[in-house]
């Protein structure tokens, strides 16, 4: 038995064609997804169920932001990109598949007496015109502005909604993913940030000391994302370079089906499959 195994190993590594076939076989049994840190935790849970139903198949999920999801899909570095927004005009050559909906909310520390901010106040806070909480009805304390790093769709949607440019943002802290943003605000009573509603609701209901502020007077929750009234809503998409087939198509269909609605709700997002 050992001799047979040795012969097979030698044959594979000494024959380039055999090695190519082996790599091709491995690729067919593995799906690589990269991109949005909002979508990644959801897809990771969906992948676990998919792997159980498909023995021998491995689904590798990596975050890094929506920009990475787009770039990797275009360059063939991943089978599927994950983005927490719609495709831009210059990205329309890609194929997009919505698996859930989410929103972006403003968060402050739970102990902050400020319970609502107008859009102009949020703009003034993020551009440095308002720098103390007492200017918006809070305590006499400097505001710590937390913003997102370049390449994050959460930043892009925030800027688009409030009609701001990246250069106008005056932030003291730059964060990457949602957990980092929530942790930062939860650890600083004078901070303000913006993150995924799904992530924020989940952490709030699990005792993390944050609170979600309304946006444009609309309460930030999944109910208002679902009914379309929340102004900062967004689709959570899977994207591919070419029209998906085979295993890739099967995974995307599974991810956008009713079979994973329970996972989507457990992750505090809004299902799209009825």
The CATH number of residue 9's host domain is 3.40.190.10
Residues 152, 217 within the same domain: yes
**Residue range 197-207, pLDDT digits in tens:** 988 999 999 99
Question: Helices marked H in 127-245 — which ranges?
Answer: 153-162, 178-186, 197-205, 222-226
pTM of the model: 0.78
Residues 261, 152 within the same domain: no
Residues 17, 96 within the same domain: yes
Residues 246, 194 within the same domain: no
How many other CB atoms are found less than 10 A from the CB of residue 2?
6
Residues 97, 108 within the same domain: no
**Residue range 209-247, pLDDT digits in tens:** 999 999 999 999 999 999 999 999 999 999 999 999 999
Range of the domain at 174: 102-226
Tally the domains of the chain: 2
Residues 94, 146 within the same domain: no
Is 80:31 a contact under the CB 8 Å cutoff? yes
Is 29:55 a contact under the CB 8 Å cutoff? no
Residues 254, 154 within the same domain: no
Residues 149, 211 within the same domain: yes
Pairing of strands 95-109, 191-196: antiparallel
Is 117:136 a contact under the CB 8 Å cutoff? yes
Is 213:221 a contact under the CB 8 Å cutoff? no
Residues 33, 142 within the same domain: no
Which of 26-35, 37-46, 169-178, 244-253 bottoms out in mean pLDDT, i.e. has the lowest? 26-35
Residues 217, 160 within the same domain: yes
Collapse the DSSP code of 239 into the 3-class scheme (helix H, G, I; strand E, B; otherwise coil) and give the result.
Answer: strand
Residues 60, 116 within the same domain: no
For the record, the structure tokens of 28 come out as 């067919």
Q: Give the CA distances from residue 81 to residues 102, 178, 260, 273, in Å, rounded to whole numbers and listed in that order.
A: 17, 18, 19, 20
Residues 221, 196 within the same domain: yes
As a whole number, mean pLDDT of residues 39-64 equals 96
């Amino acid at each position: 038995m050992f001799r047979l195994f040795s012969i097979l190993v030698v044959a594979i590594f000494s024959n380039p064609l055999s090695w190519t076939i082996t790599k091709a076989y491995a690729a067919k049994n593995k799906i690589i997804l990269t991109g949005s840190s909002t979508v990644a935790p959801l897809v990771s849970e969906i992948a676990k169920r998919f792997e159980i139903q498909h023995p021998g198949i491995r689904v590798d999920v990596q975050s890094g932001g929506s920009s990475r999801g787009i770039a990797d899909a275009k360059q063939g570095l991943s089978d599927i990109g994950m983005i927490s927004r719609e495709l831009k005009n210059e990205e329309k050559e890609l194929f997009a598949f919505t698996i859930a909906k989410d929103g972006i909310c403003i968060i402050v520390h739970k102990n902050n007496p400020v319970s609502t901010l107008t859009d102009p106040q949020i703009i003034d806070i993020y551009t440095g015109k308002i720098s103390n909480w007492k200017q918006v009805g809070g305590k006499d304390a400097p505001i710590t502005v937390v913003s997102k790093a370049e390449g994050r769709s959460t930043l892009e949607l925030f800027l688009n909604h409030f009609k701001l440019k990246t250069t106008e943002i005056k932030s003291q802290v730059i964060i990457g993913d949602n957990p980092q943003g929530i942790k930062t605000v939860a650890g600083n009573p004078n901070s303000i940030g913006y993150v995924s509603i799904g992530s924020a609701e989940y952490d709030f209901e699990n005792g993390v000391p944050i609170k979600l502020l309304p946006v444009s007077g609309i309460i930030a929750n999944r109910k208002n994302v679902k009914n379309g009234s929340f102004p900062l809503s967004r689709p959570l998409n899977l994207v591919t370079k070419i029209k998906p087939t085979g295993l890739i198509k099967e995974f995307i269909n599974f991810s956008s089906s009713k079979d994973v609605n329970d996972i989507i709700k457990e992750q505090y997002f809004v299902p799209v499959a009825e």
